[in-house]
Amino acid sequence: MKKETIDNISKYLEKQGVGYLTSESCGIGIRALYDYSERGKRLLEMFFGTTISGAPWNSTVGNEPSVGSIMLPKVMRPLAIFAMFMNGADAVVDVDINGDIKANYLMIIRDVDDWNDPDYQELLEKVRYLFNGEFRVWTNTSTGRGGRNVHVFSGRTA
């Protein structure tokens, strides 16, 4: 089992081709402006299940050329979790606590051969102890293609 901790979701998504620019673009303050590279465009299209287009605001996202920009509501955390699964995660431990313990990070877990593996169970026990059980574990149960489920009866991608 391998694990990787992500403590800055915005930087993680920039490496995936989606770069946060500003929240000042939205006149009512509920969306933010993002630029995306070609790789980021593929990720966003898979995430939303539709094609996107828009002129880029800046010239680059990370080290890649920007091919467009988009206004999004607060979807960074779910988008990052989705990207982690698209990049091969078996599970993602999601800690987002704003109480006495301030914590906000995601942990990518790969190469889990058995969910009852003692190392995996020990990791969950440590997280449960540290954060009083305030966390979520997302697992990739999809039998689908590109993050979409395949309908069992018809065989069509939902």
Q: What is the mean pLDDT of residues 65-72?
A: 95
Residue with tokens 């955390």: 77
Per the prediction, the chain carries an average pLDDT of: 83
What does pTM read for this prediction? 0.82
pLDDT for 99-114, tens place per residue? 555 556 788 887 777 7
Residue 140 has pLDDT above 90, yes or no: no
Calpha distance 157→10 (Å, rounded): 30
Residue 130 has pLDDT above 70, yes or no: yes
Higher pLDDT: 37 or 123? It is 37
String of DSSP letters for 87-129: TT-SEEEEEEEESSSEEEEEEEEE--S-TT-HHHHHHHHHHHH
Calpha distance 68→40 (Å, rounded): 9
Q: What percent of the chain has pLDDT over 90?
A: 33
pLDDT for 77-101, tens place per residue? 899 999 998 888 888 888 876 655 5
- Looking at residue 157, its pLDDT comes to 67
- Looking at residue 41, its pLDDT comes to 97
For the record, the structure tokens of 27 come out as: 């006149």
Model confidence band, residue 40 (pLDDT cutoffs 50, 70, 90): very high
What count of Cα atoms within 13 Å lies in the side-chain half-sphere of residue 142? 18
Beta bridge partners of 64: 61
Q: What is the mean pLDDT of residues 149-155?
A: 69
